[in-house]
Structure 1
Amino acid sequence: MSKNKTSGHKASSDAVRSEERVGRACVRYKCVLPNSIQSVLRQRPGWAEVKDDGEWDLNWCDVGWLRENYDHSYMEEHLTRKNLMVKNLKRYKKLLEREVGPMEASRCSFFPCTFALPSEYHLFVEEFKRCPGSTWIMKPVAKSQGKGIFLFRKLKDIMDWKKDGGRSEEQKDSTQVENYVAQRYIENPYLINGRKFDLRVYVLVSSYAPLKAWLYRDGFARFSNTRFSLNSIDDKYMHLTNVAVQKTAPDYDPEKGCKWQMQQLRRYLTAKHGREAVETLFAEMDNIFVRSLQSVQKIIINDKRCFELYGYDILLDQDLKPWLIEVNASPSYTPSGQEDYEMKCRLLEDTLNVVDMEGRLTGKEKRVGGFDLMWNDGPVCREDANLETLASSCFTANTHLGCVNDRERQLRRLMKPLLCQKRM
């Protein structure tokens, strides 16, 4: 590997801002993913794709590529495997309670009661018996798009699973055991038009040591195709909001889709509950993003040449409390429609703008395109926050999720040479 290469899940520019890069007009990239990122990379001015074993400056790869090319211990999925995410959040919560106090630890109470199976099966059974009749959800720890998920209310409903040692249908003839999590189901989700939804929010981490994280202004709500009811727990179109699941519904309309843009959702919630309640909700989501990253900050191996764009899944309940459902590495960039395609292209373009392979930024920016810097080895406050507000309010974080994303105007001010080059 040449010294100017960047590698890892996604590659950042920090290691290539060297004398070796000065004067080179072309950024060489490699990408094998057949979705929106290919379109964005190919349209990037001054960038050229390399094939096979060619020298590259940036390699946009998926987890599969990393597992083939790097030691598994180096790439442990501490935040993005469902069981490890909960394990680290529980550990971090206990650490805060011991070192800071119960008040601070309570700020980590944003994930449902969860047990790793089969290892914590007996602990799960004890908790299950304390709340008879409640609904639980089983999820494979390493699958996505709703695969292998089911709801249950009786222990006998998972006895067949336990007898098979947690093996899926594909594993029945093997000795491999598939790990699951059993999680208390949120029985009172916030509904719009009678339908359940969750939020997909994008967080870009450009460094873990020190922690530097950016929150994207755009995102979306994913709706179920069927009106919600706890009377039926077997209807996946009612309880699972994954687009991969919803688009298989018999009455799914691909033109209409099942998404709202984040700005639309924020306007709806503000009209119904008022600005203060919505500000509180979004501040609590900021807390989720930062605390979850802090929970793995010391155990994720930091590589200044790498970055990660996470897809957070957040569920709201009827009290406007946000719950962290899971965090996705390599979230899907495959669009479900034209509006979704345009949003994801903006997201990916701005990710490359933050990564800054061209070396145009100073490193002191608090906003780049649609990304707002929310944590930089400490909280980042809004530029418009005055001293009185800072002293009296928690609504001063430099985040604008669901707010106006005037990224083109902001980029014109910030990186005018890049945009001029694009027009040529």
Structure 2
Amino acid sequence: MESSLIVDDNPSSKTKISTVPIKSVFVFLIATVFSAVILEFLPNTTHSLFPPKLSNDTSNLQLLRPKYAIYGLSKTEEHLDHVISVLERLGYDRTDLDKDWDLLWAHDYPYLTMNLKNLQPNQRINHFPGCGFITNKVDLSTSRLPFLPKAFKLPGEKNEFLKYISENPQTLFVQKHNEHRFIEIKQPQEIDLDSNNTFVQEFIQNPFLVDGYKFDIGVYVLVTSIDPLRVYIYTGDVLFRYCPVKYHPFDPKNVDKYVVGDDYLPTWEVPSLTKYYNKFQANMRGAFDAYVRDQGKNPLGVWEQVEDIIRRTVQAKEKNIADILKNYKTRNFFELMRFDLIIDENLKVVLMEANMSPNLSSAHFKQNSLLYEQILYSVLNLVGIGTPIDHSLMALGSEDVEEMISNDRNIATLLNLCADYDCDKSCNKLECELCLPCLSGKDHQTLHAAFREHLHRVNMKRIIPKPINDFRKFDIEKETQNLSTKNQWMTRWFYAKCSDEITWCF
């Protein structure tokens, strides 16, 4: 916001000094000095050419507060109550879509109806263009990734489906509408092979049960960058949802035995979990892990599989999203998703789907309010929206403020290598790719963004680039051999930072 001081230079309007009484001049000077002293000691006062009036009017302060806008197709916004409350606690005010906003929170995909290809540097959107390559149910289910139950589009993949059931005659399938409705378990011979707008997916018949109840787990995933990839998961807790009816005796007609709906059975009502959740204040994951250990099993392998599944899924879809991003001049996007997974009786993890704009409403279970708000707080801090720094200074792009958060000394690494190969004189060697004098302006921006994410992670854990649990055993060449050039570069930078300081390893 710019201010102008307007001066009236019309000679006829000037007052001769000699016509002003000396006493009046003296009183004016005393009043001016006294006002300046008072203003100096008033808290939270912004000095400017036009100091704010000392009143209850906060309109000037409101103008400096960052703005958010909501995009959604629903006529109601109860499902966004926690999003709105957390943003307002972080100092954001709501504005209209057609006004200037700093954050667009879109519950629905906004790119089909809004032109968002020329964003300002301070503007952020909570979806990547092309995110449907991960969150579209049919596309993901039929991706042939090894941790997904087999799925086939009908009628297009009818022949492949017939071949699969001939080799696996005891398999049951769930036939789903493409919009993920009308779920029904069927024998292969019961499936209408010529039905349009449906797909079939193998049904996992041996789920791991807690007190006889089937369940799924929802892991919150944050993507902050594509090409190079940076992906995080929320570690504060995991959403466990139990079917309201016990799995056995199995009845395919009773979907409450195997499908999780809005009225699921929560952790605090599952008998074997209540002592951990209610008496000892465990979170949902902690209560589940304790139950698994009670069965003589180790739950750690479950979470290692979960991280690997999320990592490989996003990596498999990155190129598709990157191709869409070529049409956008800026990279002001982030994506919060929820990956839904199930576990079989052998503790093998299976991915079911990934959800764009995951449910963050506690309308059904008020106890989930804190979980959703902590997720949002962690996500918004990590992407820079929850910064405690004065937003007006951030919007102005003050160099002093930017360097206070991160400067080139923070992103510099591999100092010995850079010096040995004289990378300050020539950048033609591969060894110089991460040396500060050889970074492009875009590279600088990427590394500063990565540094700030690391600085503000709260309860988020980085899973891409892959964590380095043991630096001595981490084979950087092996880990990067199948990655794109930019992802190799990003992984090598984290590896180098890890070699300097252990907190960068994971």
Q: Where on the TM-score scale, by shorter chain, does this alignment land: which range?
A: 0.5 to 0.7
Q: 1:126 Cα shift?
A: 2.3
Q: Secondary structure at the match of 1:241?
A: coil
Q: What amino acid is the match of 1:44?
A: L
Task: Write the distance in 2 (CA, Å) between the matches of 1:356 and 1:210.
Answer: 18
The C-alpha deviation readout for 1:151-194, integer Å capped at 9, x for no partner, is: 10142x333xx56x43xxxxxxxxxxx2x221111000000111
1:44-123 aligned at under 5 Å gives the runs 44-45=90-91, 47-69=92-114, 75=130, 77-87=132-142, 89-90=143-144, 108-123=145-160
Tell me the residue number matched to 1:28. 67
Tell me the residue number matched to 1:153. 187
1:176-191 aligned at under 5 Å gives the runs 178=197, 180-191=198-209
Given candidates 472, 493, 504, the residue that maps to 1:387 is 472
Given candidates 309, 315, 325, the residue that maps to 2:352 is 325
Given that 1:139 and 1:181 are in contact with CA atoms closer than 8 Å, whether structure 2 keeps it comes out as: yes
The answer to which of 286-295 and 331-340 deviates more is 331-340
Task: Write the distance in 1 (CA, Å) between the matches of 2:356 and 2:132.
Answer: 9
**Residues 374, 254 of structure 1: CA spacing in aligned structure 2 closer, same or farther, 3 A cutoff?**
closer
Task: Write the distance in 2 (CA, Å) between the matches of 1:355 and 1:280.
Answer: 29
**Residues 74, 38 of structure 1: CA spacing in aligned structure 2 closer, same or farther, 3 A cutoff?**
closer
Q: What amino acid is the match of 1:55?
A: D
Q: What amino acid is the match of 2:187?
A: R
The C-alpha deviation readout for 1:16-56, integer Å capped at 9, x for no partner, is: xxxxxxxx9522111254322122112223x1111242110
Task: Write the distance in 2 (CA, Å) between the matches of 1:357 and 1:140.
Answer: 38
Task: Write the distance in 2 (CA, Å) between the matches of 1:209 and 1:331.
Answer: 24
Task: Write the distance in 2 (CA, Å) between the matches of 1:114 and 1:141.
Answer: 12
Task: Write the distance in 2 (CA, Å) between the matches of 1:126 and 1:373.
Answer: 40
Tell me the residue number matched to 2:231. 213
Q: Secondary structure at the match of 1:297?
A: helix
**Residues 70, 192 of structure 1: CA spacing in aligned structure 2 closer, same or farther, 3 A cutoff?**
farther
**Residues 212, 29 of structure 1: CA spacing in aligned structure 2 closer, same or farther, 3 A cutoff?**
same
Task: Write the distance in 2 (CA, Å) between the matches of 1:343 and 1:76.
Answer: 24
**Residues 317, 215 of structure 1: CA spacing in aligned structure 2 closer, same or farther, 3 A cutoff?**
same
**Residues 381, 26 of structure 1: CA spacing in aligned structure 2 closer, same or farther, 3 A cutoff?**
farther
**Residues 253, 284 of structure 1: CA spacing in aligned structure 2 closer, same or farther, 3 A cutoff?**
closer
Q: What amino acid is the match of 1:304?
A: R
Task: Write the distance in 2 (CA, Å) between the matches of 1:253 and 1:319.
Answer: 23
Given that 1:366 and 1:373 are in contact with CA atoms closer than 8 Å, whether structure 2 keeps it comes out as: no
**Residues 253, 63 of structure 1: CA spacing in aligned structure 2 closer, same or farther, 3 A cutoff?**
closer
Given candidates 457, 467, 480, the residue that maps to 1:368 is 457
Greater Rg by CA:
2
Task: Write the distance in 2 (CA, Å) between the matches of 1:323 and 1:366.
Answer: 32
Q: 1:63 Cα shift?
A: 2.5
1:215-230 aligned at under 5 Å gives the runs 215-217=233-235, 218-229=237-248
The C-alpha deviation readout for 1:245-267, integer Å capped at 9, x for no partner, is: x35xxxx7999499972222122
Given candidates 128, 137, 141, the residue that maps to 2:174 is 137
The C-alpha deviation readout for 1:297-330, integer Å capped at 9, x for no partner, is: 1110346211110100010000100000111111
Greater per-residue strand proportion: 1
Greater RCO structure (CA 8 Å; 6+ sep): 1
**Residues 230, 80 of structure 1: CA spacing in aligned structure 2 closer, same or farther, 3 A cutoff?**
farther
Q: What amino acid is the match of 1:43?
A: R
Q: What amino acid is the match of 2:233?
A: L
Q: 1:112 Cα shift?
A: 1.0
Task: Write the distance in 2 (CA, Å) between the matches of 1:132 and 1:265.
Answer: 34
Matched, 1:38 2:84: yes
Greater per-residue helix proportion: 2
Q: Secondary structure at the match of 2:134?
A: coil
**Cα RMSD (Å):** 2.9
Task: Write the distance in 1 (CA, Å) between the matches of 2:307 and 2:170.
Answer: 33
The answer to which of 263-272 and 303-312 deviates more is 263-272
Given that 2:207 and 2:342 are in contact with CA atoms closer than 8 Å, whether structure 1 keeps it comes out as: yes
**Residues 358, 340 of structure 1: CA spacing in aligned structure 2 closer, same or farther, 3 A cutoff?**
closer
Q: Secondary structure at the match of 2:171?
A: coil
Q: What amino acid is the match of 1:158?
A: I
Task: Write the distance in 2 (CA, Å) between the matches of 1:223 and 1:369.
Answer: 28
Matched, 1:238 2:254: no
**Residues 225, 26 of structure 1: CA spacing in aligned structure 2 closer, same or farther, 3 A cutoff?**
same
Task: Write the distance in 1 (CA, Å) between the matches of 2:384 and 2:201.
Answer: 40
Task: Write the distance in 2 (CA, Å) between the matches of 1:367 and 1:234.
Answer: 48
Pairs aligned (count) = 316
Gapped regions of structure 1 (runs ≥ 5): 1-23, 91-107, 167-177, 392-424
Q: 1:83 Cα shift?
A: 2.1
Given that 1:257 and 1:337 are in contact with CA atoms closer than 8 Å, whether structure 2 keeps it comes out as: no
Given that 2:86 and 2:373 are in contact with CA atoms closer than 8 Å, whether structure 1 keeps it comes out as: yes
Task: Write the distance in 2 (CA, Å) between the matches of 1:279 and 1:253.
Answer: 22
Given that 1:202 and 1:309 are in contact with CA atoms closer than 8 Å, whether structure 2 keeps it comes out as: yes
Gapped regions of structure 2 (runs ≥ 5): 1-62, 72-76, 117-127, 274-282, 390-404, 407-449, 476-506
Task: Write the distance in 1 (CA, Å) between the matches of 2:356 and 2:316.
Answer: 16
**Residues 358, 325 of structure 1: CA spacing in aligned structure 2 closer, same or farther, 3 A cutoff?**
closer
**Residues 358, 215 of structure 1: CA spacing in aligned structure 2 closer, same or farther, 3 A cutoff?**
closer
Tell me the residue number matched to 1:287. 308
Task: Write the distance in 2 (CA, Å) between the matches of 1:230 and 1:327.
Answer: 29
Which TM-score applies when normalising by structure 2? 0.57
The C-alpha deviation readout for 1:66-112, integer Å capped at 9, x for no partner, is: 433269x954611111221134x43xxxxxxxxxxxxxxxxx52111
Task: Write the distance in 1 (CA, Å) between the matches of 2:131 and 2:334.
Answer: 15
**Residues 142, 53 of structure 1: CA spacing in aligned structure 2 closer, same or farther, 3 A cutoff?**
same
Q: What amino acid is the match of 1:329?
A: M
Q: 1:369 Cα shift?
A: 1.4
Tell me the residue number matched to 1:199. 217
